Amino acid sequence: MSQECSIIEDLIPLFKKQLLQPSTIEFVERHLTTCQQCQQLVAYSSTQNAYLPMKRTVSFFHIIFIVLSFMFAINSSLLGNQKGFVISYALFGCLSYLFYKNIWIVFIISSVPVFVWAIINNLNNELYITTFSLTEIGTLAIGAGYIALLHTIFALIGAAFAILLRRIFQ
């Protein structure tokens, strides 16, 4: 692979989205007429998903967002007898999707904190746990799962709204 090929490889995503200057487009097209390998790369990238894979590193902002999601779960939960969690979790789901651009991340950060908090909060509640039997622990886990599912549904509704917004403003 020549140095020119590596430059073309870097430019292909921008070339496909037509975000290059006219002279750069001409450079890429001229190279593609003579280079079989880069032609195959363009054809291969056409069949791939348009979204870039999520980076596997966690940045400072990701950590802050995750910590805020845990705090949000504690302060706006259905278990706290607050009815505002419906709108706030839809907004949370919308913002989470716009930040991460990944529906699975929205699912995880809208369900896991609530699930964990529901279990921790009710472990000391004598209405749920009296003898720490397997049945009581199972019931607690099922109840926590149900609460987490309710929160996640509203977060996913918000994420669906974010997806629509992205498609409208793309």
Residue 110: which pLDDT band, with cuts at 50, 70 and 90?
Answer: confident
Average pLDDT, the chain: 79
Eight-class DSSP state of 82: -
Residue 89 has pLDDT above 90, yes or no: no
pTM (2 d.p.):
0.56
Residue that wins the pLDDT comparison between 38 and 122: 38
Q: Specify the amino acid at residue 73.
A: A
Write the CA distances from 55 to 52, 59, 101, 105, integer angstroms.
9, 10, 11, 12
Residue 49 has pLDDT above 70, yes or no: no
Residue 30: which pLDDT band, with cuts at 50, 70 and 90?
Answer: very high
Q: Are 156 and 103 in contact (CB under 8 A)?
A: yes
